[in-house]
Structure 1
Amino acid sequence: MKHIPCVLAISSLAILSGCNQAPEAVQTNVISTTAEQLPQVVAPIAKKVPHAMTIHGDTRIDNYYWLRDDERKAADVISYLEAENSYTNTMLAHTQAQQAKLFAELKGRIQKDDDSVPVKKGDYYYSSQTRGNNEYTTYVRSSDFSGTNQQVILDVNELAKAHDYYAVSGLDVSPNGNLMAYGEDTLSRRIYTVKIKDLSTGRLLQDTLEGTSGNLVWANDNKTLYYIKKDLQTLLGYQVYRHTLGTPQANDELVYEETDSSYYTGLSKSKDGTEIYIWHSSSTASGMSVLSANNVKAMPQRLIKRQANLEYSISKLGESYYIVTNLNAVNFQLMKVAINKAHDQANWQTLIPARDDIKLEGIELFNDYLVYQQREMGQSRQIIRNLSTNQEQLLSFNDSAYTISAYGNNDINSNKLRVYYTSMTTPGSSYDINLKTTDKTLLKQQAVLGNFNVDNYASERIFINARDGVKVP
């Protein structure tokens, strides 16, 4: 639901370039260098060292396996990479002025002081900030949407000072709001070390979890944490562990292990906070296992047995699961089932049937409303269904082509839908939409620096008839 087509991204760049107040500068950016003018240097060529690899009974020769250096210490690998970098710098030396000019223009389009739209989770509103020339984000929370009693919960700029590379992942606050777990990667291998921060004191607990994917979920006792451990060779997250605060990681309990390397493993929690989900995702199939968030001794149970080419995801509302699935539905359908009967697909009842020309992309559930997103003729749209009356309303926008996605809808009791919206002529915008009336409240629209005026731009969605008569947008 969050992918932006390449054509949109490319066109957006063109639009930004069109805002430039110095048309002559665009002309001077054209680089005209003939082959005779380029430096006469020889490109480095990686040596071939045959290395036999036998996987699934098949042996193949990888001549460049020697370039793998997980420790980043092999002299011959470092020497080769330095030669490649030297060659690149030499061949691009004549473009340095243009690179600097383009970089300056791109930086000039970025708003240095920026805040995300606060998202409510539990008793707090969470958001992020960038300030000045800081390279990293600062995460904050407040007691209300307007930012009252704002508290810095993680300043990544401070954490990153001692490292050449630094990234955080999986920020997750305990249900009572007192503790925050987050993962940090200082090597750029996407292997995260989990830290636990006491938000009332600002101090780190002694607990440290090594070798994780950075994906974290709290149990409801506020002292039990679920995390995914990675295979350090393949970097595939495949084991789910349960950690109790105050105990060593060596004592953590393995609650799930993925033995099929074609599947990725993920973690999440139901919107009502009662269940924890272990997601199983491959290229052609998916599934999930469920365990109680209230019982720290619970073991995960597969919802249904995994099946080839079957994809599904569930959302919990009361005592029912709403299931988006491709079961007998190439373009997916929405089904509903009582939780205690979900293990038998014969009990799944269709709410939104499969359609040949419309794809069901996803749903958001609230106590009184179902919001579902579907794609027709290449365009995604969102429809609000009142669960009491089954009446539906289509969310409408002025643009003929746009990208829309729901985000930050953590409160199942809410009567508002938060969406992110953008189009070829509309900068990224966050709205709260009244689920009863569909009235929109614009919370933020991304600033476009420079002399940008939306009225100077237009977009149109047109169709052509293919040879078989089908209209193609």
Structure 2
Amino acid sequence: MLASKNNWMIILSMAVVSCSQKAEKDPVTWPAAQAPVADIKPHNRIIHGDTVVDNYYWLNDFFKKGSDSSNVVKYLEAENAYTKQMMAGTEDFQQKLFEEMKGRIKEKDESVPYFFNGYYYYNRTDEGKQYYKYCRKKSSLDAVEEVLLDVDKMAEGKPYYAIGGVSISPDNKLLVYGVDEVSRREYVLHVKNLETGEIYKDKITRTSGGATWAADNKTFFYTAKNAVTLLSEKIKRHALGTDESKDVVVYDEKDNTNYIGVGKSKDGKYIFIQSQNTMSSEVRYLGADNPNGEFKLFQPRMKDVIYSVTPLADKFLIVSNADGALNFKVSEAPLDKTTKENWKDFIPHRKDVLVQGLDEFKEFLVVSERKNGLTNLSIRNLKDNSVHDLDFGEAAFTVYPSVNREYDTDVVRYGYTSMVTPSSTFDYNMKTKDKTLLKQQEVLGGYDTEQYVTERTFATATDGTKVPISLVYKNGTKKDGSAPLYLYAYGSYGSSMDPTFSSARLSLLDRGFIYAIAHIRGGEEMGRQWYEDGKMMKKINTFTDFIDCGKYLIENKYTSKGHLYAEGGSAGGLLMGAVINMAPDLWNGVIAAVPFVDVVNTMLDDSIPLTTNEYDEWGNPNNKEAYDYMKSYSPYENIEAKEYPNMLVTTGLHDSQVQYFEPAKWVAKLRTMKTGNNVLMLKTDMDFGHGGASGRFDYLKDQALEWAFILKLEGITK
């Protein structure tokens, strides 16, 4: 029965591919619904002698707990009702897409177990359940299963439920875990006795979610957040059985542009505190067997120097950009002499290789690198210093270290994927060079890699820079301009959008779409300079790169005007806001997910979570030069009376990263100023935050809405 249904779906998909590849499509009709219009309540922003009237400032009031708080909710609910009405004709299609995408996911599944300190740990999911069970087995995979956390049961009746860091005590008897029930990434820590099942009275609020055990099994360290700004401000020490009010502050970060965190070295010997902003960092360390001791400063923070520390048996390794090492290098220092004057090159700086991280083992070092825009793992033998790279055999792919908790082992576990290869987990023996595939993501419904094609090409940006584009499409898709194309990008924080597999994406590919990722500046795909050239006073490069990628794809007949669609989320939502202002007629449809679009106002308000952390990314608008530049591209500031593309905007009422009011204000202003008849819809998840729903299937409902919106614009309704 299942096989015959899948065959029927394949035939249908082939038919849809054929019928969707036409340059001309029937006009799209929408319901004659009345869009809500937000009240205008002028608010003056005056700075640097510049006065700007913000008619929708009042939409901040739910966040600010102001007098218009209830009116904000009413407005957002009216927008939701409008979106539902506009998309009503696609509801059956959305359900079909949801079932289609959900049907590719193996519901009863299990992660690859990893071994740590005498136990095999893994997660498993059950049929029809939204969450998972965190489990372990002692010594052998044939041993009796212990369910450490039954998240399915814990999340019952909760609109949102997320588990933060899970940390096992060194004696394997206690578990610390974080819980977020609001979706603002504020976690409450709990302690569970794994022998008795008892949840201790210890309860620690407003944390980042993780905890780091000392060697005594009685003490752990955690990161505490500011209640208003949500900044990670303090590292605290907690002794079991005491109230959180008695917790000792072991580190208090005074620079509100820094993020801080605490963790333990793989060999279990050291606890590290890392403090870092975009441009500099600082590390402190403490012996794990001395939890009440004083953390020692590794090297005082240096201007424009970022560094991280990895301990080996006889030395510390330091990854840093010191001494002009733009793409980072690896230095070594004695265990008792850690300051900069004692650092010596271990892996020198290379202009064509970006060092992204180290994974230490007793006899080997695994270096995560990026070369020619692609990820790479380099294996170094610590005894003879010989080096070899792994070989992967595809033109565009993503490789990364997986869970490697064991220190005394010759085996490194890594993950591998491409736009046509489902996520795969391998064990690689660094001595014998034998590679073992442990698991590949199973895609139900008969997925065949050979049915799809991936390629990598380069667009030429306005300034002559070559910008990589990764593409995937179904065999038989014509590159004559007739195919619709979905272009995605992010382009901020040095975060690289590498080519990976998505089973949900097949619902577009099987209906004739080409899917493309533009690896624009602001990410780190082509090295650290790629990031430097897409931030601060060079941010405009991010936007022009994306526009140039869109033009390139049209010029080279991957698609044509009227068939090009774009999506970006968070800082990628800023990208969407900027490119529709700069090139509104290039896109037929745009999805802006949780978009950061009110840049100037947000960066001027240091009470908004994370604002001060971002000064080195965007600039501080209290400085006139930064203000003027930011204002020149901020989407909210630059809306004009012109025809914008069809748009779907999404947000979450409890979003801690990009507050709901940014997209709400943006949409409200767009409604009053845009010309033409293209649709503009805002959907707010009233229960969730930045990442959307927490269940493993619920997010597919949002994906189905987005796909249905784009497919409707393309005239595809089944």
TM superposition score category, shorter chain reference: 0.7 to 0.9
Alignment partner, residue 119 of structure 2:
124
Say yes or no: does 1:291 pair with 2:286: yes
Q: 1:453 to 1:162 in 2, by over 3 A?
A: closer
Report Cα offsets for 1:169-200 as digits up to 9, x if no partner: 01101111000000111111211111100001
Report Cα offsets for 1:19-40 as digits up to 9, x if no partner: 94522466899996645x4314
Report Cα offsets for 1:427-472 as digits up to 9, x if no partner: 1110110010221011101011122223444545567999999987
Alignment partner, residue 422 of structure 1:
417
Whole-angstrom CA distance in 2 between matches of 1:369 and 1:106: 41
Say yes or no: does 1:376 pair with 2:371: yes
Q: CA deviation at 1:138?
A: 0.8
Say yes or no: does 1:104 pair with 2:99: yes
Q: CA deviation at 1:271?
A: 0.8
CA contact (8 A) 2:417 2:424 kept: yes
Whole-angstrom CA distance in 1 between matches of 2:216 and 2:224: 22
Q: Secondary structure at the match of 1:341?
A: coil
Say yes or no: does 1:400 pair with 2:390: no
Report Cα offsets for 1:216-244 as digits up to 9, x if no partner: 11111111111111111111111111110
CA contact (8 A) 1:44 1:83 kept: no
Alignment partner, residue 137 of structure 1:
132
Say yes or no: does 1:165 pair with 2:160: yes
Mapping for residues 242-261 of structure 1, pairs under 5 Å: 242-261=237-256
CA contact (8 A) 2:62 2:70 kept: no
Tell me which amino acid in the other structure corresponds to 1:330.
Answer: L
CA contact (8 A) 1:280 1:286 kept: yes
CA contact (8 A) 1:207 1:245 kept: yes
Instruction: State the identity as a percent.
Output: 37
Alignment partner, residue 15 of structure 1:
none
Q: CA deviation at 1:50?
A: 2.6
Q: Structure 2 unaligned runs (5+)? A: 1-8, 469-718
Q: Structure 1 unaligned runs (5+)? A: 1-18
Q: CA deviation at 1:305?
A: 1.1
Alignment partner, residue 326 of structure 1:
321
Q: CA deviation at 1:333?
A: 0.6
Q: 1:189 to 1:388 in 2, by over 3 A?
A: same
Q: Secondary structure at the match of 1:221?
A: coil
Whole-angstrom CA distance in 2 between matches of 1:68 and 1:311: 38
**Residue 434 of structure 2, aligned match among 434, 439, 445:** 439
CA contact (8 A) 1:215 1:266 kept: no
Tell me which amino acid in the other structure corresponds to 2:329.
Answer: Q
Alignment partner, residue 192 of structure 1:
187
**Residue 78 of structure 2, aligned match among 69, 83, 89:** 83
Report Cα offsets for 1:35-74 as digits up to 9, x if no partner: 5x431413332543537799x9x99986525534259893
Tell me which amino acid in the other structure corresponds to 1:38.
Answer: P
CA contact (8 A) 2:35 2:79 kept: no
Mapping for residues 210-359 of structure 1, pairs under 5 Å: 210-328=205-323, 329-343=325-339, 345-359=340-354
**Residue 37 of structure 2, aligned match among 40, 44, 55:** 44
Whole-angstrom CA distance in 2 between matches of 1:288 and 1:303: 6
CA contact (8 A) 2:33 2:85 kept: no
Whole-angstrom CA distance in 2 between matches of 1:46 and 1:86: 17
Whole-angstrom CA distance in 1 between matches of 2:341 and 2:51: 44
Greater fraction of residues in strand: 1
Q: 1:46 to 1:301 in 2, by over 3 A?
A: farther
CA contact (8 A) 1:243 1:252 kept: yes
Alignment partner, residue 443 of structure 2:
448
Report Cα offsets for 1:71-112 as digits up to 9, x if no partner: 989322221221111111112112212212211211111111
Whole-angstrom CA distance in 1 between matches of 2:259 and 2:415: 27
Q: Secondary structure at the match of 2:300?
A: coil
Q: TM-score, normalised by structure 2?
A: 0.59
CA contact (8 A) 1:183 1:194 kept: yes
CA contact (8 A) 1:336 1:349 kept: yes
Q: CA deviation at 1:364?
A: 1.3
| Relative contact order, higher structure (CA 8 A, sep 6+) | 2
Greater fraction of residues in helix: 2
Alignment partner, residue 12 of structure 2:
22
Q: Number of residue pairs matched?
A: 453
Alignment partner, residue 12 of structure 1:
none
Q: 1:65 to 1:229 in 2, by over 3 A?
A: farther
Q: 1:415 to 1:200 in 2, by over 3 A?
A: same
Between 1:389-398 and 1:198-207, the stretch displaced more is 389-398
CA contact (8 A) 1:400 1:460 kept: yes
Alignment partner, residue 521 of structure 2:
none
Q: CA deviation at 1:299?
A: 2.2
Tell me which amino acid in the other structure corresponds to 1:333.
Answer: K
Whole-angstrom CA distance in 1 between matches of 2:312 and 2:174: 27
CA contact (8 A) 1:39 1:90 kept: no
Tell me which amino acid in the other structure corresponds to 2:12.
Answer: A
Report Cα offsets for 1:251-305 as digits up to 9, x if no partner: 1101111111111111110111111111112122222211221112112222111
Whole-angstrom CA distance in 1 between matches of 2:348 and 2:81: 59
Report Cα offsets for 1:95-142 as digits up to 9, x if no partner: 212212211211111111111111222111111011111111110011
Q: CA deviation at 1:326?
A: 0.7
Q: Secondary structure at the match of 1:214?
A: coil
Between 1:143-152 and 1:227-236, the stretch displaced more is 143-152
Alignment partner, residue 67 of structure 1:
60
Q: 1:21 to 1:218 in 2, by over 3 A?
A: farther
Q: 1:462 to 1:45 in 2, by over 3 A?
A: closer
**Residue 182 of structure 1, aligned match among 170, 177, 188:** 177
CA contact (8 A) 1:169 1:184 kept: yes
CA contact (8 A) 2:333 2:344 kept: yes
Whole-angstrom CA distance in 2 between matches of 1:176 and 1:60: 60
Whole-angstrom CA distance in 1 between matches of 2:367 and 2:194: 36
Tell me which amino acid in the other structure corresponds to 2:384.
Answer: T
**Residue 411 of structure 1, aligned match among 403, 406, 419:** 406
Tell me which amino acid in the other structure corresponds to 1:336.
Answer: E
CA contact (8 A) 1:417 1:433 kept: yes
Whole-angstrom CA distance in 2 between matches of 1:187 and 1:432: 37
Whole-angstrom CA distance in 2 between matches of 1:177 and 1:183: 18
Whole-angstrom CA distance in 2 between matches of 1:460 and 1:290: 45
CA contact (8 A) 1:118 1:145 kept: no
